Amino acid sequence: MRVEIMSMKMARQRQKALRDANRKARRPDRDDVARVALFWLIRRAVEKGQEAELETFQGVIVSMLTEQGFDERECDAVFDDLVAKYRSGGLPFRRKLHLLFPDRNERET
């Protein structure tokens, strides 16, 4: 039990060091890339009037999420909300202030 706790603590420390190094290198993580890719795909489909393709894409995504155990109706609702949000224009992402002003963050820590 004690070895497991030490191992978990070391793993958390490694993960924190990795996150800190990635932040310092301004390296996006998987979720950052996925978020931007989904936004681009939805906006492009909307701008090109590809509603049928967007519905097909939604069906595939919802099916894959459902296979992971998520509720189908909730998946559809979340996807519909994203499409509505992305359809309205503008970038729906918060600015990454720690990336835009790295010197300020180093002084604060």
Q: Domain range spanning residue 103?
A: 28-108
Asked if residues 26 and 79 have their Cβ atoms less than 8 Å apart, the reply is no
In this structure, is residue 22 part of a structural domain? no
In this structure, is residue 67 part of a structural domain? yes
In this structure, is residue 15 part of a structural domain? no
In this structure, is residue 56 part of a structural domain? yes
Pick the more confident residue, 82 or 105: 82
In this structure, is residue 3 part of a structural domain? no
| Element spanning 48, H or E | none
In this structure, is residue 21 part of a structural domain? no
In sequence order, which ranges of the chain are alpha helices (DSSP H)?
A: 2-24, 30-47, 51-67, 72-87, 97-100, 102-108
Asked if residues 41 and 81 have their Cβ atoms less than 8 Å apart, the reply is no
Instruction: Report how many domains make up the chain.
Output: 1
CA dihedral (34, 35, 38, 39) positive or negative: negative
In this structure, is residue 18 part of a structural domain? no
pLDDT tens track for 26-54: 899 999 999 999 999 999 999 999 999 99
Mean pLDDT within 93-109? 68
**In which residue are the tokens 């509603």 written?**
51
Geometric angle at alpha carbon 62, from 58 and 64, rounded to 5°: 120
Token readout for 92 is: 């729906």
Task: Please check the confidence at residue 16 and state whether its pLDDT lies above 80.
Answer: yes
